Amino acid sequence: MTRTLLRNVRPWGGAPADVLVDETGILEVAPAAEAAAPATDAPAGASDLEVVDGAGGILLPSFSDVHVHLDSTRMGLPFRPNTAGPSRMDRILNDRANWRSAEQPVAARATYTLERMIAQGATRVRSHAQVDADSGLEKFEGVLAAREAHRDRAHVEIVAFPQVGIHLEDGVPDLLDEALRNGADLVGGIDPCEIDRDPKRHLDTVFELAERHGVGIDVHLHEAGSLGLFSLDLIVERTRALGLAGRVSVSHAFALASTVPGVERALEDVAELDIALTTIAPKGSLTHPLDLPIGRLRDLGIRVGLGMDGQRDYWSPWGNGDMLERAFLLAYTQGYSNDDDIEDALAVATWGGANVIDGSLRRLGADGRPGVAVGDPAELVVVRGETPTSAVMDRFPERVVVHAGRVVAEGGELR
Amino acid sequence: MTRTLLRNVRPWGGAPADVLVDETGILEVAPAAEAAAPATDAPAGASDLEVVDGAGGILLPSFSDVHVHLDSTRMGLPFRPNTAGPSRMDRILNDRANWRSAEQPVAARATYTLERMIAQGATRVRSHAQVDADSGLEKFEGVLAAREAHRDRAHVEIVAFPQVGIHLEDGVPDLLDEALRNGADLVGGIDPCEIDRDPKRHLDTVFELAERHGVGIDVHLHEAGSLGLFSLDLIVERTRALGLAGRVSVSHAFALASTVPGVERALEDVAELDIALTTIAPKGSLTHPLDLPIGRLRDLGIRVGLGMDGQRDYWSPWGNGDMLERAFLLAYTQGYSNDDDIEDALAVATWGGANVIDGSLRRLGADGRPGVAVGDPAELVVVRGETPTSAVMDRFPERVVVHAGRVVAEGGELR
């Protein structure tokens, strides 16, 4: 089995160390330069040991982007002014009107964007793939192709995602079913009240598909305030009744950012049923609160991960594949200025998303603080920086990216 | 007089042009490559014409940082974890406890940070300089030295700023008076209720100093909600009574981000008395709203500029001298995603601050849209990008920076 020795790296900004990894995880963390030299330490197949100079960089768990839309991206294509109106449906229809005329097909666009994400340090990705009457499975297949192209560089989960609802247009349940038979890992849902305007039927279909295929669920929930709490409660109810604790995620969950009555009770339900949350670090306002209470989620033991959402697409120009920048934006939008808080934002972008993807991981350090240690998965990134906080502030492009124990990207480019 | 020809640049993202400037401003904007060649077009002193290749970049007004604290920066020094507590006074005292032990004196730190700001495209700067019983005029003199070091590269205004109040410690009014006699351009103030706890006396002293020295005023106003509106009203009252319309700025003005009764009336007063506002694009929350209503300010014709605040200092780790990044954060925190809105954020970072510093400029394009045209000041920056919006999204480091008609920085470094 190939092993990799990361020389002179500082796990979560700690003392310089030499870190030995293989496909199974981190095997050894030794003080830098004191690790046995490869020639004497490799009992068999020394030639299978790759030694990489970490140059004193900070070793972190790799970034996890747990909420991205690889099928909508225009990264790498000519910049296109935004022609969408302000509402969610305006943006859905703007994408529908324009995606087919993109300079490249979905597969090429998704593959390029996934490349840029990996090159900048993300090796765990959960991508939504839009399934609707207009695109059929074409977008889904594009995301499948991107996953296949990078199968040795990142772990990619795909959500069969009914962006335009399930019951507004014909054939969507069958398309979701087909996607789940053909490689989708989770079934998605969206705003059960606002899109289908039939929350019971929407969620019953989602949960029925999940049961039939034995897959997890990830529901986009933009609905605000008490309406969003109602939809969340319908999700909670079904999660509890079907024994799906730990298998359900809710994305955005803007209702939990509000101050309407019932938020605390909803947080307790989410914690009890181990429902994972994903955020894209949005910026809310007084009238449209969007920012999840990250510190409170941590205190309640609720799994929460970070994502890029669409990237430079027909919805908005934001997003560039760099999850370290999105961690910077999470810290900024949370108003953080002390080091522990900023490291918490970095933890959401790394361990947090890893925990969302693998609910059994539960890795945020024995003392509740994030870290990197023997036994951790060999999904790692080395970033330049003095401390984890300064690394978030500086976001230097120099990175070394490790997936399944092997270096897959260096200096911002794939190997 | 030295002239500079910026070849192949796109004014505010428009058609490629050759732009001729001198110290007095933009002399000519001609379609690219059609501008008369230097050899035939320069009647006298052709050798005084410098030709610079803009490489198709976007020509913008230079960035204006109208709210920075050059005296507190630790940019370029070893990163220091934040040891400040959460309150404003905690941070004031954390700075007081530590600034003397910085690796470099104030002048060196301020000079380096101003260099990084200019190199990234800011040629108009309004810096606060803390004047208090602890530091006397030492910090002020450090900022003066930085201004002097870069006098040929940027226009720098200095605010004599009583960070710890005016009447809590002995001798502050005299120190402010001395600073104003020795090069300060404006007199500052801060949270008249919360710091001195004597708003009348605080503001009377500020306005009295302004009148005595014939200088403008810039008051930090972090006070929230109705308390902040009260302090703002005291400022409005004095501005009106003393005929200082157009001479007063209020920084932060968090109270205008709230929903308490009186905000609309306060905005009308601010517009009537031509009080300028500065923002650092802070991220507020439901309980602590901080985000100025940028679109509303524009519609009311209120001058508003952007700033970095402290940069990597004893208050917080944020800030890196790059005003294009701060424009990106302004657009992000305002929740902008269409091009006109994002260009408005860029306009605040460029023309907006220029208007704050020079109230007679009033330059945001004849049609209300930002732009670059003949007659504008020769304070310019060329940034790489396809459109103004994509330039904000990408924040490429390649820049050409022009101050007073001459190139002062290229490729991220001073000439």
Q: Is A244 within a domain?
A: yes
Q: Which of B291, B318, B393 sits opposite A285 (nearest CB)?
A: B291
Contact A337 B320 (CB under 8 A): no
pLDDT in tens, A193-237: 999 999 999 999 999 999 999 999 999 999 999 999 999 999 999
Give me the mean pLDDT over the A126-141 stretch.
98
> Do B104 and B244 belong to one domain?
yes
What is the domain extent for residue B225?
A: 63-357
Q: Is A195 within a domain?
A: yes
pLDDT in tens, A251-276: 999 999 998 999 999 999 999 999 99
* pLDDT of the residue at A34: 58
Query: Token pair of B334, please?
Result: 């305002």
Q: Is A181 within a domain?
A: yes
> Do B73 and B218 belong to one domain?
yes
Q: Is B110 within a domain?
A: yes
In the beta sheet, which residues pair with residue B60? B381
> pLDDT confidence of A37, banded at 50, 70, 90?
low
* pLDDT of the residue at B33: 80
Q: CB–CB of A139/A145 below 8 Å?
A: no
Q: What is the pTM of this model?
A: 0.96
Question: Any CB–CB contact under 8 A between B43 and chain A?
Answer: no
> Do B47 and B73 belong to one domain?
no
Q: Is A367 within a domain?
A: no
* pLDDT of the residue at B40: 44
pLDDT in tens, A316-369: 999 999 999 999 999 999 999 999 999 999 999 999 999 999 998 888 876 778
> Do B130 and B22 belong to one domain?
no
Q: Is B364 within a domain?
A: no
Q: Is B372 within a domain?
A: no
DSSP A249-302: EEE--GGGGS-STTHHHHHHHHHHTT-EEEE------SSS-----HHHHHHTT-
> Do B90 and B113 belong to one domain?
yes
- Chain A, residues 382-411, CB within 8 A of chain B, namely 385-387, 389-390, 393-394
CATH of residue B325's domain is 3.20.20.140
pLDDT in tens, A46-97: 569 999 999 999 999 999 999 999 999 999 999 999 999 999 999 999 999 9
Contact B286 A259 (CB under 8 A): yes
Query: In Å, what is the CA distance from A68 to each residue of A24, A42, A99, A103, A162?
Result: 27, 40, 17, 21, 14
For the cut 90, the answer to whether the pLDDT of residue B341 exceeds it is yes
Interatomic CA distance for residues B337 and B346, integer angstroms:
13
Residue B259's closest chain A neighbor by CA?
A286
For the cut 60, the answer to whether the pLDDT of residue B375 exceeds it is yes
Interatomic CA distance for residues B97 and B94, integer angstroms:
5
> pLDDT confidence of B367, banded at 50, 70, 90?
confident
Sequence-distant (6+) residues with CB within 8 A of A259 are A289, B286
Contact B337 A329 (CB under 8 A): no
> Do A155 and A284 belong to one domain?
yes
Q: Which of B335, B338, B389 sits opposite A285 (nearest CB)?
A: B335
Sequence-distant (6+) residues with CB within 8 A of A359 are A246, A247, A274, A276, A303
> Do A41 and A133 belong to one domain?
no
Q: Is A364 within a domain?
A: no
Number of structural domains (chain A) is: 2
Sequence-distant (6+) residues with CB within 8 A of A100 are none
> Do A183 and A310 belong to one domain?
yes
* pLDDT of the residue at A211: 98
> Do A227 and A125 belong to one domain?
yes
Place of tokens 């606002």: A194
Question: Any CB–CB contact under 8 A between B79 and chain A?
Answer: yes
Question: Any CB–CB contact under 8 A between B87 and chain A?
Answer: no
CATH of residue B19's domain is 2.30.40.10
Question: Any CB–CB contact under 8 A between A12 and chain B?
Answer: no
> Do B155 and B28 belong to one domain?
no
> Do B100 and B11 belong to one domain?
no
pLDDT in tens, B78-123: 999 999 999 999 999 999 999 999 999 999 999 999 999 999 999 9
Place of tokens 């810096």: B127
> pLDDT confidence of B39, banded at 50, 70, 90?
very low
Question: Any CB–CB contact under 8 A between B283 and chain A?
Answer: yes
> Do A294 and A384 belong to one domain?
no
Length of chain A as a residue count: 415
- Chain A, residues 208-227, CB within 8 A of chain B, namely none
